[in-house]
């Protein structure tokens, strides 16, 4: 699996966990903040992984040229 797929999976899973934490009233008193914290960490990690693939693509590196191409004679 590549980084984009993992990031998208993390975003979807964290959204589901967040909905469960907010929607269920039968959870014990201290559990919803913990689930929301886990959901937030997963959401941020998913966004970072989605953007990492876009910024560090191998095919985009060929577009950049070297700036130090001058040759100096002795």
Report the predicted TM-score, pTM, of the whole model to 2 decimal places: 0.65
Residue 34 lies in a domain: yes
pLDDT at 11: 93
pLDDT at 12: 94
Residue 25 lies in a domain: yes
Among 10, 8, 29, smallest CA distance to 18 is for 10
Residues in the chain: 74
Residue 30 lies in a domain: yes
pLDDT at 72: 61
Residue 65 lies in a domain: no
Q: Which domain, by its residues, includes 35?
A: 3-56
Residue 63 lies in a domain: no
How far apart, in whole angstroms, are the C-alpha atoms of residue 42 and residue 57? 23
The total of structural domains in the chain comes to 1
Q: Return per-residue pLDDT of the chain as tens, 74 residues.
A: 687 888 899 999 999 999 988 998 888 889 889 999 999 999 999 998 888 755 555 565 556 566 666 666 55
How far apart, in whole angstroms, are the C-alpha atoms of residue 53 and residue 13? 19
pLDDT at 51: 82
């Amino acid at each position: 699996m590549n980084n984009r797929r993992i990031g998208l999976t993390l975003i979807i899973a964290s959204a589901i966990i967040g909905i469960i934490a907010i929607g269920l009233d039968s959870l014990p008193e201290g559990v919803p903040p913990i689930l929301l914290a886990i959901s937030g960490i997963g959401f941020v990690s998913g966004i970072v992984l989605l953007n990492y693939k876009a910024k560090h693509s191998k095919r985009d590196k060929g577009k950049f040229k070297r700036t130090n191409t001058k040759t100096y004679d002795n």
